[in-house]
Chains A and B, each alone.
Chain A
Amino acid sequence: MKGRFGRFGGQYVPETVMNALIELEREFEEAKKDEKFMEEYRYYLKEYSGRPTPLYYAENLTKRLGGAKIYLKREDLNHTGAHKINNVLGQVLLAKRMGKKRIIAETGAGQHGVATATAAAMFGMECEIFMGEEDIKRQALNVFRMKLLGAKVTAVTSGTRTLKDAVNEAIRDWVTNIETTFYVIGSVVGPHPYPTMVRDFQRVIGDETKEQILEKEGRLPDYVVACVGGGSNAMGIFYPFIEDKEVKLIGVEAAGEGIETGKHASAMAKGSVGVLHGMMTYLLQDEEGKILPVHSISAGLDYPGVGPEHAYLKEIGRAEYVYATDEEALAAFMDLSQTEGIIPALESAHALAYAMKLAKKLDEDKIIVVNLSGRGDKDVNTVAKVMGVEL
């Protein structure tokens, strides 16, 4: 069925935006086949964002753990510091093609907001970013970065005042300004065609990884591990490997203070099927379908749902979804910083935490690729606070 991944996905949105979604889908399908558009997209990925990103063999970490070989896909080396820019460049080029002058986006940690504000600055577009009031407090540095880039940052004071509510508010703005505005969604979530479109703009991560690992190892990896909030970095690296059944795909959600405590963001582990932000997927919700508050040390994973294609990959058993706690992510954050000299984003540290546990249990001839989706500069304040260090 169109816009569905099995029973997941769909378009659960107000009628007002339906024609805009239909138009967006048509434009996207045309753009994908338009060699000139794709060439421009690839040009900016290369010249502006610095792709391809390296696939780095983490030798020190591998040797210390004494198990499987660990490779890191260095998405942290992208311009603006995370994989988010891959998708933003694609969507903003599409907005330009559609003649839209104003772009809006939601943001949690601020990475997607910064990436969107960056692209808007370069392409000379008006830009407004919706961000929960709570997140604005937690991520002051990124808020200032967005403002420096010329974007308007609007504090969202409804609901839980975090990422979920920022999405609600962005949708409300989009409904209101539907004729002039392009909504740049930051993950593989939302109504069709967004989950497909964002995946297609992120699959460059997986395409490069495949080529690079074949070049370095002459074979595909045994495991691909990525963190999952909405799940765009994971979907991007998983997608080109879906048909390669020998490659195990593992998504790592945020278990916060532990999934038994209720203070977590593990929609796959503890959620049930429902509808939020236009899609049917796994959600953390109560028995009447009200969305529950979520928690993670990393604002980028602090989301009560997950992209519908992930829900589908789980249901058909193609991907496995596990989780890592705040504490485990912090330990991995420190570990990578000190063994490899790479400070990872707290989001990516979740994937790393699980991969490190896994590596120890595997033979030395096994290969794990970890998607290092972002760099940790933005998290330094959070980590210092946890350590009780005053900056």
Chain B
Amino acid sequence: MNRIDRRFDDLKKEGKKALITFITAGDPDIDTTYDIVLALEEAGADIIELGIPYSDPLADGPTIQASSQRALAKGIKIKDIMDLVMRIREKSDIPIVYLVYYNSVFKYGIEKFLEDSKNAGVDGLIIPDLPLEERKEVLDVADKYEIYLIPLVAPTSKERIKAITENGKGFVYCVTLTGVTGAREEIATDLEEYMRLVSSYTSMPKALGFGISGPEMARKLKSLSDGIVVGSAIVERIAKGYNRCEMLKEVKEFVSSLREVL
């Protein structure tokens, strides 16, 4: 059984919601990323979304763009990230999904990317620029390696949700808003209506992500979904440039505060 399924099953039994936390691999460096992942787990994260830094992250807002640039400036390679996951796997069984732009997968070689991800211990992929119309090739190879290609839906998806979530695996990533990633003060979308629509098409677990800035917002959204994704709000804390100890402490405190409300 895929680690993602197991985690959603467990959470359901406990009556809790999934906390999915995003960080960019290699920001500020690979060794610190390793520590952050373990800290996130300790603070109560259920799934780690590990961003593979890319030169042109067009679904991301300024916070994650800057994070990507910092990681790339260090010369990080995809191989380093695969090795990182392997190291994490020696210590932890937390579900890990990559957030990766399609050109990184394509250029690495779709088959090789999935094979290496499998060997490293990756459970799923989120590819923000690979919509329904283009996903078949990757989906077939992902199935072969039993890695989940997480389907994404948006408030503009409407009737497309049916085809997007058909035979879907893992969870549905429900983008909360029309826009790019980044913590917001509030989210204008009518999320109740939106999530009702998603639920009418699929019984898969649903996670809400984009714009979620902290525990207050998470508390408001929890009744609408099976989990929430927090990214930029964590990356901002990593970027503050404290010494490593302080930074890890602040990230842990923040993630614990999210855990408490979910």
Binding site for B on A (CB under 8 A): 10-20, 158-159, 164-165, 168, 171-172, 175-179, 272, 274-278, 283, 285, 287-291
Whether A168 contacts B175 in the complex (CB less than 8 A), given A15-B152, A18-B160, comes out as no
Whether A18 contacts B131 in the complex (CB less than 8 A), given A158-B65, A290-B72, comes out as yes
**Chain A contact surface mostly:** mixed
Q: Is B254 an interface residue (CB 8 A)?
A: no
Chain A residues within an 8 Å CB radius of B78: 288
Q: Within the assembled complex, what's the spacing in Å between the Cα atoms of A235 and B215? A: 52
Chain B residues within an 8 Å CB radius of A159: 55-56, 65, 69
Q: Is the CB of A289 within 8 A of B108?
A: yes
Q: Within the assembled complex, what's the spacing in Å between the Cα atoms of A19 and B153? A: 11
Which B residue's beta carbon lies closest to that of A289? B107
Q: Is the CB of A274 within 8 A of B103?
A: yes
Q: Is the CB of A289 within 8 A of B104?
A: yes
Whether A274 contacts B106 in the complex (CB less than 8 A), given A16-B154, A168-B56, A168-B58, comes out as yes
Q: Within the assembled complex, what's the spacing in Å between the Cα atoms of A172 and B129? A: 12
Whether A287 contacts B107 in the complex (CB less than 8 A), given A16-B175, A168-B56, A276-B56, comes out as yes
Q: Is B92 an interface residue (CB 8 A)?
A: no
Given contacts A14-B154, A176-B178, A278-B129, 10 further A-B contacts (CB under 8 A): A10-B133, A15-B175, A16-B175, A18-B133, A176-B179, A274-B106, A275-B106, A285-B103, A290-B55, A290-B104
Q: Is the CB of B154 within 8 A of A291?
A: no
Number of interface residues of B (CB under 8 A): 39
Q: Is the CB of B134 within 8 A of A12?
A: yes
Q: Within the assembled complex, what's the spacing in Å between the Cα atoms of A274 and B78? A: 16
Partner among A11, A175, A274 whose Cβ is within 8 Å of the Cβ of B133:
A11
Q: Is the CB of B132 within 8 A of A18?
A: yes
Q: Is the CB of A274 within 8 A of B178?
A: no
Q: Within the assembled complex, what's the spacing in Å between the Cα atoms of A11 and B136? A: 13
- Contact digits for B101-137, partner A, Cβ 8 Å, 1 yes 0 no: 1111011100000000000000000001111111000
Partner among A10, A14, A19, A287 whose Cβ is within 8 Å of the Cβ of B59:
A14
Which B residue's beta carbon lies closest to that of A165? B56
Q: Is the CB of B178 within 8 A of A179?
A: yes
Chain B residues within an 8 Å CB radius of A177: 178
Chain A residues within an 8 Å CB radius of B77: 288
Q: List 23 A-B contacts (CB under 8 A).
A: A11-B133, A11-B134, A12-B102, A12-B129, A14-B131, A14-B154, A14-B175, A18-B131, A18-B160, A19-B156, A19-B160, A159-B55, A168-B56, A172-B61, A172-B180, A176-B179, A288-B107, A288-B108, A289-B54, A289-B106, A289-B108, A291-B55, A291-B56
Query: Chain A's nearest CB lies how many Å from the CB of B150?
Result: 12
Q: Within the assembled complex, what's the spacing in Å between the Cα atoms of A1 and B181? A: 32
Q: Is B144 an interface residue (CB 8 A)?
A: no
The 7 closest A-B pairs by CB, nearest first: A289-B107, A289-B103, A16-B154, A176-B179, A290-B55, A275-B103, A15-B154
Query: Chain B's nearest CB lies how many Å from the CB of A279?
Result: 11
Q: Is the CB of B134 within 8 A of A288?
A: no
Q: Within the assembled complex, what's the spacing in Å between the Cα atoms of A11 and B55? A: 19
Q: Within the assembled complex, what's the spacing in Å between the Cα atoms of A336 and B108? A: 46
Query: Chain A's nearest CB lies how many Å from the CB of B22?
Result: 16
Q: Is the CB of B58 within 8 A of A172?
A: yes
Q: Within the assembled complex, what's the spacing in Å between the Cα atoms of A179 and B156? A: 9
- Contact digits for B146-189, partner A, Cβ 8 Å, 1 yes 0 no: 00000011111110100010000000000100111000000000
Chain B residues within an 8 Å CB radius of A176: 178-180
Chain A residues within an 8 Å CB radius of B154: 14-16
Which B residue's beta carbon lies closest to that of A170? B58
Which A residue's beta carbon lies closest to that of B79? A288
Q: Is the CB of A19 within 8 A of B158?
A: yes
Q: Within the assembled complex, what's the spacing in Å between the Cα atoms of A172 and B180? A: 6
Q: Within the assembled complex, what's the spacing in Å between the Cα atoms of A203 and B56? A: 31
Partner among B102, B153, B156 whose Cβ is within 8 Å of the Cβ of A275:
B102
Q: Within the assembled complex, what's the spacing in Å between the Cα atoms of A273 and B101? A: 15
Give the most central of B62, B128, B130, B156: most A CB within 10 Å. Answer: B156
Q: Is the CB of A10 within 8 A of B134?
A: yes
Whether A175 contacts B65 in the complex (CB less than 8 A), given A15-B153, A276-B103, comes out as no
Whether A15 contacts B157 in the complex (CB less than 8 A), given A178-B178, A290-B54, comes out as yes
Chain B residues within an 8 Å CB radius of A10: 133-134
Q: Within the assembled complex, what's the spacing in Å between the Cα atoms of A277 and B175? A: 20
Chain A residues within an 8 Å CB radius of B106: 274-275, 289
Give the most central of B56, B61, B130, B155: most A CB within 10 Å. Answer: B56
Q: Within the assembled complex, what's the spacing in Å between the Cα atoms of A165 and B210? A: 22
Chain A residues within an 8 Å CB radius of B62: 158
Query: Chain B's nearest CB lies how many Å from the CB of A255?
Result: 22
Q: Within the assembled complex, what's the spacing in Å between the Cα atoms of A177 and B108? A: 33
